[in-house]
Structure 1
Amino acid sequence: MNEMRPKIIPGSGVTLHFSLTLPDGTEALSTYGEEPLTFNMGDGSMVAGLELALYGLRSGMEQTLMLTAEQAFGMRDEDKVHPVPREDFPPEMVLEPGQVVAFDTPAGDELAGIILTLEDARVVVDFNHPLAGQEVSFRVSILDVQPPATTQTTDGS
């Protein structure tokens, strides 16, 4: 009776466990053993390429897909590597290569960057997603699917 369960479509509410594994077997991220992820399809909680792999699945289904870098987090973009003046960091902040630092954007959002190198007057920061340029294995277990919320007009229709 799996066919009676709602399929994942745009706007569906989804609760799932997932893991991302690199080709060398390193698990980069996993919700297994933790709280599952709950979100609405299309709300930006999940990368579009990962979301695309979920369409058509129903609760109780599991799947593992190998996703190319383009399908997952995109290719590395050298235009996202920027020198940042050292004076933009608090003077007491200890900086080191590989460190993840949060930055506030002009729009008020938070953006993470990874410190690549330290120089006297500047810090070179990579704003690519840490998994950009990586092929990943995407394993998912669908726990629950809720149909998209319907909106009603003011006349009740």
Structure 2
Amino acid sequence: MTEPLVDHNSTVVLHFDLKLEDGSAADSTRVHNKPAKLRIGDGNLTPNFEACLMGMHVGERKAFTLAPQDAFGMPNPDNIHHMDRSKFGSETPPAPGMIIAFTQPGGVEIPGIVRDVAGDSVTVDFNHPLAGQKVIFDVEIVQILNQELDS
């Protein structure tokens, strides 16, 4: 029996370490020993990230660098909002660098980073915190589940 390889029909269980260009750690599944489970082709991963996983086998480890557009995207100026300070609770006044969860219509929460507080205006950035960053993924394949697509 041949060893399974990551292909277009795979669900992949993997560990990853995510680092920034300067070498600082941004995220890791190894910290809590909880690997990620990803489905190739479901639209949650960028095509370039998926391409880097293709052909890998269980136990294989590989590091690759992704440009911002292939990782978390570029910052979108439309995702930066200026809000009135009165929208924030007095028990926790907004301060630059603070991450606050905002509830959207429909109850979905989205995190925003306070970038600036000037008088009654609070600037909140809803871009992904790693948008615009070149990132380095160090992945290790734990399990590959190849499934034929249902017709």
TM band (smaller chain): 0.7 to 0.9
Report what 2:103 is aligned to.
104
In structure 2, distance between residues paired with 1:11 and 1:110: 31
Q: Deviations over 1:32-78 (max 9, x none)?
A: 2422112333456x542534432332211111111111111111222
Q: What is the correspondence of 1:85-96 to structure 2 with a 5 Å cutoff?
A: 85-96=84-95
**Is 1:17 the equivalent of 2:18?**
no
- Residue pair 1:10, 1:148 contacting (<8 A) in 2 also: no
Would you say how many aligned residue pairs link Structure 1 and Structure 2?
149
The TM-score with structure 2 as length reference comes to 0.84
1:26 paired residue number: 24
C-alpha distance 47-84 of structure 1, shift in aligned 2 (>3 A): farther
Pick closer, same or farther for the CA change 1:100–1:18 going to 2, 3 Å.
same
- Quote the residue 2:114 is aligned against: 115
User: 1-side partners of 2:60 and 2:112: how far apart?
Assistant: 35
Q: CA RMSD in A?
A: 2.2
Question: AA paired with 2:66?
Answer: L
Stretches of structure 2 that go unaligned for 5 or more consecutive residues are: none
Identity of aligned residues (%): 38
Aligned to 1:61: 60
Distance 1:128 1:108 in 2: 19
Q: Which residue of 2 aligns with 1:136?
A: 135
Partner of 1:53, secondary structure, is helix
